[in-house]
Chain A
């Protein structure tokens, strides 16, 4: 497979995984800056190892036991449900009904909470360890789910999904190390909007395939489905903005 084809196939997994890595990296950074790096880095390493064991076990079972069409159906349904949640939240944020997800606010809140708890010298920081462990394990599980979902077809799809997730991890973690502060420059709501549409599209595509449908042009239908989701979601944003009176968006954020 040439690098351009690989890059195109890996993009959905890259974008989806990047969102999860941003969340985990923000928390690990907040813990590291306030309480020192030893415990959160150890928490990250242990969570990564636990994740590898879980994926190693479940991954083999998924390939050998479950029939492909059943896996596609289940994963398609999960992707659709997962994607709809993201898409709905992103639309409500764009319309001003829900406050924009603010990574900087989360970072400052983490800082304040951790400083409040205090820390004695020469004591292993279990709080820092557990906070980092929990964040990395949870977000890592979501990345694993994304990789399994996008790579469900096996072969090229799986390779591309794995490459996309690894590159996203290196990219976001590298960005975090370089910046040493919250990743506020990543417009998270735009990412969630796009990723939500992509997850929904793959969900519809795979679920229909599991039911025996052959899409015209096979995977070439996916961009068309993505465009349909984006267009309808943007239409929903416009409808919501028109529905709420002038200035109501700001007022609604206080609910």
Chain B
């Protein structure tokens, strides 16, 4: 999760530096979207891992 968040922050920074004024004004929404996707993806993966661990423990 932390690595994903750092990548999202770095992408936002690059967008703000490389893009123009218009890009700078949407960088916050882009960061928010990336972090929200990251939360769902990371937790979904954690769920899959937990399910796999439970299946192997039952065997």
Q: Is the CB of A204 within 8 A of B42?
A: no
A97 and B5 form a contact (CB under 8 A): no
Q: In the complex, how many residue pairs between chain A and chain B have their CB atoms under 8 Å apart?
A: 105
Which residues of B sit under 8 angstroms from A95, Cβ to Cβ? 43, 47
On whether A244 and B40 interact (CB within 8 A), knowing A84-B5, A85-B2, the answer reads no
Q: Is the CB of B13 within 8 A of A232?
A: no
Closest to A205 in B: B28
Structural contact, B44 and A211, CB atoms closer than 8 A: no
B49 smallest CB distance to A (angstroms): 9
User: Can you identify 27 A-B contacts, CB atoms within 8 angstroms?
Assistant: A77-B9, A80-B5, A84-B1, A88-B1, A91-B39, A91-B43, A92-B46, A204-B32, A207-B9, A211-B16, A211-B28, A213-B16, A213-B24, A213-B27, A232-B36, A232-B39, A233-B39, A239-B44, A239-B47, A240-B46, A240-B47, A243-B51, A244-B50, A244-B51, A248-B51, A252-B50, A252-B54
Chain A residues with CB under 8 Å of chain B are 77, 80-81, 84-85, 87-88, 91-92, 95, 97, 200, 204-205, 207-209, 211-215, 225, 228-229, 232-233, 235-236, 239-240, 243-245, 248, 251-252, 255
